[in-house]
Amino acid sequence: MGKIEWAMWANEQALAAGLIYATGGIVGVAGQFRGWQFACFGIAAGVFVCLLEYPRSKRGKGTSVERTGQYCFTVCVKAFGPLTRNYYVRAFLHAALCVPGGFMLATVLGCVCLGIGSLIYLSAAIHGEHWEPILPRREPPKRVGDSIKEPPQNPPPRPPPEHRRKKADKLEAAAYDNPMSVTVNE
């Protein structure tokens, strides 16, 4: 627990809002309600928001937990560069997208939820946060000697027996007693 990263909550809220927006839109269109054009817009905006919000940002401090299968979304969102990195842009985008939802009952809930998400994003932006993609860490290729095909991953706690014997001339400097006696000529 540390300083709150508002963007994390804004992300959850906006994702939920996108789903609600889209669902309201689907109901409006399926039921052929008055103002179904707004419902159509609601579906489009809701889906767009979901796609934008699905990839989680890398956290400033601590481990980031990815959503399942978010890598392809991360790549797409990353491609827009500063537009998606900056949370001010996101806050205003969400605010703009939510407005048409207020004109029809089915999408009103999505509108308000997205509006709240936009406000939390604004708070995140004011606190200086920004979106960072979570990319898989590429391990630097290990330098291996030619004679070693597969170096062991973990060093063994106990060295092999031949290295346990200390050289006789270094006996005085030995940190421990030898398990077996050592003569100068081995």
Partner 1 sequence: MLYTLYNYFISLQNFSNTLHSVFQLVWLGINVFLFVYFYLAFLIERYYYTRVILGHALSWARAPAACLNFNCMLILLPVCRNLLSFLRGSIQYCSRTAARQLDRNLTFHKLVAYMIAFHTAIHIIAHLFNFERFMDSQLMINSSYLPYVLSQMGNNDNRSYLNPIRTNETNPTIVMFTTIAGLTGVVITLALILIITSSMEVIRRSYFEVFWFTHHLFILFFIGLVLHGVGRIVRGQTLESVKVHNPDECHSQFETWGKNGTNCPEPVFAGNPPMTWKWVVGPMILYVCERLVRFYRSQQKVVITKVVMHPSKTLELQMKKKGFKMEVGQYVFIQCPSISQLEWHPFTLTSAPEEDHLSVHIRIVGDWTQALYTACGGDKTVVMDAWTLPKVAVDGPFGTASEDVFRYEVVMLVGAGIGVTPFASVLKSVWYKHVQENKNVFTKKIYFYWLCPETQAFEWFADLLQSLERQMMEKDMSDFLSYNIYLTRWKDAEAAHFRVQYEAEDDPITGLKQKTLYGKPNWDNEFSAIATQHPGSKVGVFLCGPMALATALGKQCFSHTESGTEFIFNKENF
Our CB check for partner 1 shows the closer of 82 and 172 to be 172
Binding mask 114-153 for partner 1 (x = CB under 8 A): --x-------------------------------------
Residue 24 beta carbon to partner 1: minimum distance, rounded to whole angstroms? 7
Q: Which residue among 8, 91, 97, 98 contacts partner 1 (CB under 8 A)?
A: 8
DSSP codes joined into one string, 16-58? HHHHHHHHHHHHHHHTT-TTHHHHHHHHHHHHHHHHHHSSPPP
Point out which span in 16-24, 77-85, 87-95, 142-150 binds partner 1 (CB under 8 A): 16-24
Residue 4 beta carbon to partner 1: minimum distance, rounded to whole angstroms? 5
Distance CA(64)–CA(36), nearest Å, equals 40
Distance CA(44)–CA(21), nearest Å, equals 9
Q: Residue 95: CA atoms inside 13 Å, Cβ hemisphere, count?
A: 11
